[in-house]
């Protein structure tokens, strides 16, 4: 397949051509030619007008739930990949919270085999504990040999400090990356939303910031003790940012990502019991948002994820206490990220947070845009305004909190593995 | 007579001061009716009201039902156990049933906060929240404030202490909203573990010493300790709670002034307050019950204006 993108602005190429306007010819999955704008033409190629659009390395989302195996009614690997492409992502890291959890070689291979022909490069995180029960180590080495690149119990946060210590030590043998979702269950127990003024107004049980920061504090000590790197998934509080910032200063190998929703929405958005915004960690305060932004600016937080968590209507359209946590996010993450950060951060930096930076965290190869390289690319428009329409979203689940709302910035097309997808 | 600014009574939060005053003046009228030999008025003939109780209740349900019958409404009652609610589908199914039955007003109590709002988004009927989780219990707050107004002449400028489990109490929350709107000063008093961390954002004073709170207030509203709502232990034993927050005659008599005692019921005699206090002439607990019917008649009557 031949694709010609004309007069497009290249960014984050990994070469000195970043920022240049070029014609790019992709042939058979390889970047065949990058030339002065307006100089290339090929009648046999699908030609796309790239004027006022950007071409960057394919985006990567390091925190998605595709619910397959087990809850295919909410999402399956194919619909998950479709949602990723629609959102502009050519790579994802799947969390292991499936049914059964991805806790052995069999599930890892299942996911990788089933998605090997997809445009989206699907990576897998295996559980850290056997059956995701938080008691004994999972067969991490076996899973790593089968292709798992990270290990985490995801939202089933590891309560047992001894277990996490053993996981951090054990994974050193083969370089498995440990991800931690920080949540002390005894502090967050049965909490429904951020503990704050709004939870007080609504009479809903609060999840204190403390439930997150106490665990981050613990985990940082464990990482220091074991000398192992650790990554914190979807942090949400100002205390967490501060702890991680200090740990980095101290020289610990610690990284963190934040979910795009936490950069723009605060907990007052729940004033009408909107279950679509019931997520974990919960939406926090304005102050926390400010701290998360500053964490991004100074590099404390080095990736933005969607925390894509598809849930069917039956689990969302109900009493707040009973509704499931989680929001569908892959298809709106770029718009949210771009809108909340563009006044503070250059576009190159924003795009890095959702493309090569998460790849670096996970030890994956960075994508560059130059002749001869595999074409793993996202074409996007920062100016396009669009209305989120539930019926055109590719995810099987419709729990996107922005349904019906107008957003700015959108992926136009993705290219990877000699496949091409035009976003609708 | 005016009209309410709302179609539903979901909480005190949504009411304006004018709404509350309208409910009070309407309740004055109905209270007078309740003291006549013939206590029934035809105001809500042809209006169908469904009482949906997804959580145990005796007095609130009876109070609503009596109010509805005094207004000549057609009444249907539905009670479901909490266990079937937790299975999840009940509320949606109930919604559909209500739609099919052409009910005009739904009175609902539910164990989960926000359930009344949820219902109001899905049905045409007017919703009266009879208590949703630890969120709101607006008619209780209205009858409490109405009772204070009756006893002390007005609510504005009065000092009200709410004592007990503030964390799990919809009565406390609705009372705070209502009393603040009416211009009262509000203090909450209870164990530190049962005090929401951000409660002061509602403009209330916080006190952890019962004697101090009582010395400060004109009226003390003694909440029921709801052990059934506490999934974990917030205090070691009732014995200790009583030692710190139980109101007995001795404390009451030691105060430098005579204060008024309220309780939303049902009373755990010997826990929040002793029998001696509950039955003393400083207590207006039974007036609250009587006013409850008048307030609920007023609310239903005024909401029915939106139905017709």
Structure confidence at residue B55 as a pLDDT band (50, 70, 90): confident
Per-residue model confidence (pLDDT) at position B78: 85
A280: tokens are 């974990």
Structure confidence at residue B86 as a pLDDT band (50, 70, 90): low
Structure confidence at residue B84 as a pLDDT band (50, 70, 90): low
Name the closest residue on chain A to residue B195, using Cα atoms: A200
> What would the mean pLDDT of B26-49 be, rounded to a whole number?
94
Pair B169, B281: CB distance under 8 Å: no
**A309 vs chain B: nearest CA distance in angstroms?**
20
Per-residue model confidence (pLDDT) at position B87: 58
User: Is residue A314 scored above 80 in pLDDT?
Assistant: yes
- As a whole number of angstroms, the distance between CA A108 and CA B290 comes to 66
- As a whole number of angstroms, the distance between CA B289 and CA B263 comes to 10
Q: Following CA atoms A294, A297, A301, A302 in sequence, which dihedral angle do they give, to the nearest 10 degrees?
A: 170
> What would the mean pLDDT of A198-220 be, rounded to a whole number?
97
> DSSP character for A232?
E
- As a whole number of angstroms, the distance between CA B252 and CA B166 comes to 21
> DSSP character for A318?
S
Helix (H/G/I), strand (E/B), else coil: B275: helix
User: Is residue B65 scored above 60 in pLDDT?
Assistant: yes
Q: Rounded to the nearest 5°, which phi and psi values hold at B150?
A: -65, -45
Contact B197 A272 (CB under 8 A): no
- As a whole number of angstroms, the distance between CA B101 and CA B124 comes to 11
Instruction: Give percent of chain A above pLDDT 70.
Output: 100
Q: Following CA atoms B172, B175, B181, B187 in sequence, which dihedral angle do they give, to the nearest 10 degrees?
A: -50
What single string gives the DSSP state of each residue in A48-64? Answer: EE-TT-EEEEPEEEEEE
Per-residue model confidence (pLDDT) at position A240: 98
Beta partners for residue B78, in sequence order: B52
Name the closest residue on chain A to residue B171, using Cα atoms: A203
Contact A201 B13 (CB under 8 A): yes
User: Is residue B166 scored above 80 in pLDDT?
Assistant: yes
Name the closest residue on chain A to residue B120, using Cα atoms: A272
Question: CA B153, B208, B281: angle at the middle one, nearest 5?
Answer: 35
Q: pLDDT tens for residues A48-88?
A: 999 999 999 999 999 999 999 999 999 999 999 999 999 99
Name the closest residue on chain B to residue A271, using Cα atoms: B114
Residues of A whose CB is below 8 A from B232: 189
**A283 vs chain B: nearest CA distance in angstroms?**
16
Which of A188, A189, A202 is the mutation pick for testing B, counting most B CBs within 10 A? A202
Per-residue model confidence (pLDDT) at position B88: 55
Q: pLDDT tens for residues A142-162?
A: 999 999 999 999 999 999 999
Instruction: Give percent of chain B above pLDDT 90.
Output: 81
Structure confidence at residue A35 as a pLDDT band (50, 70, 90): very high
Cα–Cα nearest to A179, from A282, A279, A94: A94
User: Is residue B308 scored above 60 in pLDDT?
Assistant: no
- As a whole number of angstroms, the distance between CA A33 and CA A417 comes to 17
Residues of A whose CB is below 8 A from B173: 201, 203
Helix (H/G/I), strand (E/B), else coil: A45: coil
User: Is residue B85 scored above 70 in pLDDT?
Assistant: no
Name the closest residue on chain B to residue A199, using Cα atoms: B198
Per-residue model confidence (pLDDT) at position B93: 78
Structure confidence at residue B233 as a pLDDT band (50, 70, 90): confident
**B180 vs chain A: nearest CA distance in angstroms?**
14
A126: tokens are 């295996």
Contact B113 A321 (CB under 8 A): yes
- Cβ pairs bridging A and B (under 8 Å): 67
> What would the mean pLDDT of B96-107 be, rounded to a whole number?
86
CB-CB: which of B118, B170, B202 is closest to A200? B202
Per-residue model confidence (pLDDT) at position B28: 97
Per-residue model confidence (pLDDT) at position A377: 98
Contact A203 B197 (CB under 8 A): no
Average pLDDT of the residues of chain B: 92
Question: Which residues of A participate in catalysis according to the annotation?
Answer: 307
- As a whole number of angstroms, the distance between CA A266 and CA A277 comes to 10
Structure confidence at residue B81 as a pLDDT band (50, 70, 90): low
Chain B residues whose C-beta is within 8 A of a chain A C-beta are 13, 86, 88, 91-92, 110, 112-115, 117-118, 132-136, 170, 173, 196-199, 201-202, 231-232
User: Is residue B83 scored above 70 in pLDDT?
Assistant: no
CB-CB: which of B91, B113, B199 is closest to A202? B113
> What would the mean pLDDT of A114-127 be, rounded to a whole number?
98
**A184 vs chain B: nearest CA distance in angstroms?**
16
User: Is residue B89 scored above 70 in pLDDT?
Assistant: no
Average pLDDT of the residues of chain A: 97
**B205 vs chain A: nearest CA distance in angstroms?**
15
CA distances, A339 to each of A297, A346, B28, B142 (Å): 15, 12, 54, 44
Residues of A whose CB is below 8 A from B180: none
Structure confidence at residue B82 as a pLDDT band (50, 70, 90): low
Per the listing, tokens 């002439």 go with B281
User: Is residue B26 scored above 60 in pLDDT?
Assistant: yes
- As a whole number of angstroms, the distance between CA A179 and CA A172 comes to 13
User: Is residue A300 scored above 80 in pLDDT?
Assistant: yes
Chain A residues whose C-beta is within 8 A of a chain B C-beta are 189-190, 195-197, 199-206, 208, 272-273, 314, 317-322
The residues near A265 (Cβ < 8 Å, ≥ 6 apart) are: A277, A283, A401
User: Is residue B11 scored above 80 in pLDDT?
Assistant: yes
> What would the mean pLDDT of B250-256 be, rounded to a whole number?
96
> What would the mean pLDDT of B153-176 be, rounded to a whole number?
97
Per-residue model confidence (pLDDT) at position B226: 77
> What would the mean pLDDT of B10-31 be, rounded to a whole number?
97
């Amino acid at each position: 397949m031949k694709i010609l993108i004309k007069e497009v602005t290249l960014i984050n190429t990994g070469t000195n051509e970043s920022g240049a306007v070029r014609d790019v010819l992709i042939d058979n999955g390889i970047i065949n030619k990058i030339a002065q704008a307006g100089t290339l033409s090929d009648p046999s190629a699908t030609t796309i007008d790239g004027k006022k659009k950007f071409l960057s390395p394919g985006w990567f989302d390091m925190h998605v739930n595709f619910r397959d195996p087990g809850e295919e009614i909410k999402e399956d690997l194919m619909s998950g990949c479709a949602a990723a492409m629609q959102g502009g992502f050519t790579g994802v890291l799947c969390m292991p919270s499936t049914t059964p959890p991805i806790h052995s070689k069999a599930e890892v291979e299942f996911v990788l085999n089933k998605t090997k022909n997809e445009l989206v490069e699907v990576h897998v995180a295996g559980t850290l504990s056997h059956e995701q029960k938080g008691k004994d180590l999972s067969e991490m080495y076996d899973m790593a040999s089968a292709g798992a690149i990270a290990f985490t119990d995801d939202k089933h946060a590891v309560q047992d400090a001894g277990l996490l210590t053993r996981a951090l030590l054990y994974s050193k043998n083969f370089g498995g990356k440990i991800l931690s979702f920080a949540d002390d269950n005894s502090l967050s127990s049965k909490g429904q939303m951020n503990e704050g003024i709004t939870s007080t107004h609504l009479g809903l049980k609060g999840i204190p910031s403390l439930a997150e920061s106490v665990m981050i504090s613990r985990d940082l000590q464990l990482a220091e003790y074991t000398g192992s790197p650790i990554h914190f998934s979807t942090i949400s509080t100002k205390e967490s940012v501060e702890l991680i910032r200090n740990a980095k200063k101290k020289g610990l190998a610690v990284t963190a990502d934040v979910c795009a929703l936490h950069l723009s929405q605060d907990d007052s958005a729940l004033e009408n019991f909107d279950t679509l915004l019931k997520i974990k960690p919960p939406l926090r305060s304005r102050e926390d948002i400010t701290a998360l932004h500053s964490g991004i600016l100074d590099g404390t937080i080095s990736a933005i994820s969607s925390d894509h968590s598809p849930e069917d209507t039956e689990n969302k359209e109900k009493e707040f206490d009973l509704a499931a946590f989680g929001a569908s996010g892959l298809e709106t993450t770029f718009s949210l990220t771009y809108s909340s950060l563009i006044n503070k951060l250059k576009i190159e930096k924003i795009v890095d947070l959702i493309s090569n930076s998460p790849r670096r965290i996970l030890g994956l190869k960075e994508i560059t845009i130059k002749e001869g390289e595999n074409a793993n690319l996202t074409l996007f428009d920062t100016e396009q305004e669009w209305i989120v329409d539930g019926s055109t979203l590719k995810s099987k689940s419709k729990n996107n909190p922005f349904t019906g709302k107008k957003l700015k910035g959108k992926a136009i097309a993705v290219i990877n593995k000699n496949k091409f997808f035009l976003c609708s | 007579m005016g009209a309410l600014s709302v179609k539903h009574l979901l909480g005190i939060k949504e009411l304006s001061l004018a709404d509350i005053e309208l409910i009070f003046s309407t309740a004055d009228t109905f209270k007078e009716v309740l003291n006549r030999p013939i206590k029934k008025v035809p105001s809500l003939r042809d209006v169908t009201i469904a009482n949906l109780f997804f959580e145990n209740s005796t007095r609130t349900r009876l109070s609503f039902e009596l109010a509805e019958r005094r207004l000549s409404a057609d009444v249907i009652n539905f009670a479901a156990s909490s266990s079937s609610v937790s299975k999840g589908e009940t509320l949606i199914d109930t919604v559909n049933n209500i739609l099919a039955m052409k009910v005009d007003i739904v009175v609902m109590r539910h164990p989960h906060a926000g359930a009344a709002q949820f219902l109001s988004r899905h049905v045409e009927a007017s919703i009266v929240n009879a208590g949703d989780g630890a969120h709101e219990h607006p008619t209780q707050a209205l009858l409490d404030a109405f009772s204070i107004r009756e006893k002390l002449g007005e609510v504005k400028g009065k000092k009200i202490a709410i004592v007990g489990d503030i964390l799990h109490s919809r009565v406390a929350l609705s009372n705070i909203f209502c009393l603040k709107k009416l211009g009262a000063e509000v203090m909450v008093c209870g164990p530190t573990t049962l005090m929401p961390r951000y409660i002061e954002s509602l403009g209330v004073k916080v006190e952890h010493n019962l004697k101090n709170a009582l010395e400060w207030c004109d009226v003390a509203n003694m909440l029921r300790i709801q052990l059934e709502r506490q999934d974990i232990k917030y205090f070691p034993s009732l014995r200790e709670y009583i030692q710190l927050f139980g109101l007995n005659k001795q404390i009451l008599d030691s105060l430098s002034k005579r204060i008024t005692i309220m309780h939303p019921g049902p009373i755990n005699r010997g826990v929040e307050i002793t029998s001696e206090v509950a039955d003393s002439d400083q207590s207006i607990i039974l007036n609250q019950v009587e006013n409850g019917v008048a307030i609920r008649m007023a609310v239903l009557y005024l909401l029915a204006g939106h139905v017709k």
